[in-house]
Structure 1
Amino acid sequence: MKLLFASDSFKGTISSTESAQMLEKAAREIFGKDVVCKSIPVADGGEGTTDAVIAARSGKKIHLTVHGPLMEKASAYYGDLGKGEAVMEMAVASGLPMVPAEKRNPLNTTTYGTGELLRDALDKGFTKISIAIGGSATNDGGIGCMKALGVRFLDSDGHELSGIGADLEKIADIDTSGLDERIAKTSFTVMCDVTNPLCGKDGATYTFGRQKGATAEIQDRLEKGMQNYRDIIIKKFGINPDEIAGSGAAGGLGAALLVFLKAKLKSGIETVLDLTDFDSQLDGVDFVVTGEGRTDWQSCFGKVVQGVGDRCKNKGVPALALVGSMGKDADKIFEHGICSMLPTVVDTISLEEALAHAKEAYYDGALRLFRFIKTGMAINERKRGL
């Protein structure tokens, strides 16, 4: 019997790699030592994407110091996958957890450090770069990131702006003459499952601003600034970011990457599965176990379980999901190649208690899952014997 494990991390409790280790231990306990187990760390383009792809591709980390969301010095890294290919995530340079709760205000944060990640990759000769843009602390339209790459955002007096959210309303002109020339020879893929436009009620500011610390008043100010930024892009380059799906991702960083770097927007999980050559890993596999911390209706829109399930369905390989919990419309995931789903939490307990005992519950859940499979195998063998 040959099994493949490909689970997302259970945020804050179990990594993708740890889940695979526990699944393998449980599989050997139920099926015996001869069962063949392999695993692929996966992520959906958010936190942990870089680590998952590095592990799956046997890449290596490149460490560097960048400027964080408040222009503080911060340690960051990205992945060298070989042959000029790099993978990175903006959350390590411009992520929300990097900003203390009492200092969260997207008027003051910048994506400058993300631009430093990209610039370092260019300095090291990478010509194919994939960047995940989930988990941002910013709403600067990506102007900080582009500033690090040579674009100048100027106010009405011709002075260069610093590249924070508050600068959006001050932009009077955009000078791209200093944009890093190496960008034209580099392909960029943006990993993102958000399709929001840059502006409007479904745009970057009103959809994601509050979770980054913006009050209603701050949101209104940022939105006016974002509209100003959009209008100047339309005037200067003939491109309307609001007509580009995903331009509102990561506080408008999506717009900057798509407009200035000519990046291609792709589903995070689909990009990760492609980078890890997932389809070929399914050859000869009897079934796949995937999972995530919580499965509900949102899981069908670009999450790991949906992406893995669809790939398995296309190859005719059964896929099972071991998840932390199940929420509203979790059963819709069965339309995406998932044959059955088992939650690890089996009692009415508080979230704090569930998180504290997440690993024990996961391993117990894995044992129950494999016992069900073994029972099904026994029933099938008995029928064949009859």
Structure 2
Amino acid sequence: MTSTPSPVIVVAPDSFKGSASAAQAAAAMARGVRAVAGADARILELPMADGGEGTLDALLATWGTEPLTIETTDALRRPCTARYGMSQDGTTGIIEAAEANGLPQVSDVPLQPLVADTHGVGLIAKRLLDAGVDEILLCIGGSATTDGGAGLLTALGARFLDASGTPVAPGGGALSSVATVDQAGLHPRATAVTWRIAVDVDNPLCGPRGAAAVFGPQKGASPDDVTALDAGLRHLAQVLGADSLAGQPGCGAAGGMPLALVALLGAQMVPGAELVAAAIGLRGALEGAAVVLTGEGRLDTQSLGGKVVDAVRRTADPGARVVVIAGAVQLDAAACRDAGLTAAFSIAPGPAGLAELQADAERLIEDTAAQACAALGLGHAPGAAGR
């Protein structure tokens, strides 16, 4: 008698930031699945990313290449070292912007939201342009900046000038003073390459859901700072003749970094999770999968707007059971059902502080995956062990 093959179970989580990388989370979920479904369970581990932290590593693993390093500057223009990457054939470069302008790089000093800028990211892009790539993939999550990409373009040779023809100061606080943009000194290959910007949110550039209002406070912006930054981004869009971008979903990512690149370089915005999914072959892996486990640090409404959970739920087969494992679950059962999710589980075993959860994250992810698989009926019947 032919035995029925065990179902395919795919684990495709994002990182649990500050607790476990995507690869560590995937391995922990797989261990939890095996504890219930048995050693012969067919499990496929696919660490994911959404255009923010971990995207560089995910794509370099797919390409089979090692990270490169460059001496650049952080969001306050202090010297720092950043990683970037290139495909094996040298045609495509990848930048994880937070390597240069990320919040961790400036966590040793008080946050300066009005002056932080993306100049260091532009220095990495210049290196790739000099190397002759045909395409640049710019992953922009986790930034400390709200400058509309002006600093990046400055590093590539553009000049943002006030009414007197003087270059404006770095940072989003000076954007309202921009009168013209001089592109005469722009890198000669800046407009010749294809730019794809991997975004992990669908926020517009300006307004109550814009870059300054939603993400500014995380970068140290006061209410007055938020007002100034929002006005500066809107003004820069007008100067660039790109008013329509102010309301375009995704343009508010990373402090509006896409603005100047889309307006001046013709860059394309792409949901980061979808781009990573294509690079690692997620669609093919999910074909025929009976159960899909995904997850991230916190499951909330933003998770359904272009992040890893969103990409996984949209890619999975209609009949697959999609389960989310997260550090915190802020969607109720009805919201999960409406989103096409079978269930969501928090790794917290009870009242616990963030530090406690982070210290034991991998074991908790493993245990929660086991509990989820048992609830789905993937394991042996109670009492069957050892028979």
- Give TM-score scaled by structure 2 length: 0.87
Q: Sort the Cα spacing of 1:355 and 1:158 in 2 relative to 1 into closer, same or farther, 3 A.
A: same
TM superposition shift of 1:239? 5.5
TM superposition shift of 1:56? 3.7
Quote the residue 2:24 is aligned against. Answer: 18
Quick one: distance in 2 between partners of 1:44 and 1:126? Answer: 23
Residues 1-386 of structure 1: pairs in structure 2 closer than 5 A: 1=6, 2-83=8-89, 84-100=91-107, 102-234=109-241, 240-314=244-318, 316-329=319-332, 331-374=334-377
CA RMSD of aligned residues (A): 2.6
TM superposition shift of 1:311? 0.5
- Aligned with 2:225: secondary structure? helix
For structure 2, the 5+ residue unaligned runs are 1-5, 383-387
Q: How many residues get paired?
A: 375
- Aligned with 2:51: secondary structure? coil
Contact 1:61–1:77 at 8 Å: present in 2 too?
yes
- Aligned with 2:190: secondary structure? helix
Contact 2:250–2:269 at 8 Å: present in 1 too?
yes
TM superposition shift of 1:373? 4.2
| Structure 1 residues 163-209: Cα deviation after superposition (integer angstroms, max 9, x where no partner) | 32333233222111222222333111112244444344443333332
The structure with the largest helix share of the pair is: 1
TM superposition shift of 1:331? 4.3
For structure 1, the 5+ residue unaligned runs are 380-386
Contact 1:7–1:41 at 8 Å: present in 2 too?
yes
Could you tell me which amino acid in structure 2 is paired with residue 360 of structure 1?
Answer: R
Quote the residue 2:385 is aligned against. Answer: none
Highest RCO, 1 vs 2 (Cα 8 Å, sep ≥ 6): 2
Q: Sort the Cα spacing of 1:220 and 1:7 in 2 relative to 1 into closer, same or farther, 3 A.
A: closer
Quick one: distance in 1 between partners of 2:162 and 2:23? Answer: 48
Contact 1:41–1:53 at 8 Å: present in 2 too?
no
Contact 1:296–1:328 at 8 Å: present in 2 too?
yes
Could you tell me which amino acid in structure 1 is paired with residue 187 of structure 2?
Answer: D
TM superposition shift of 1:133? 1.6
Q: Sort the Cα spacing of 1:257 and 1:101 in 2 relative to 1 into closer, same or farther, 3 A.
A: same
Moved more, 79-88 or 91-100: 79-88
Q: Sort the Cα spacing of 1:242 and 1:283 in 2 relative to 1 into closer, same or farther, 3 A.
A: closer
Q: Percent identity?
A: 34
Could you tell me which amino acid in structure 1 is paired with residue 371 of structure 2?
Answer: R
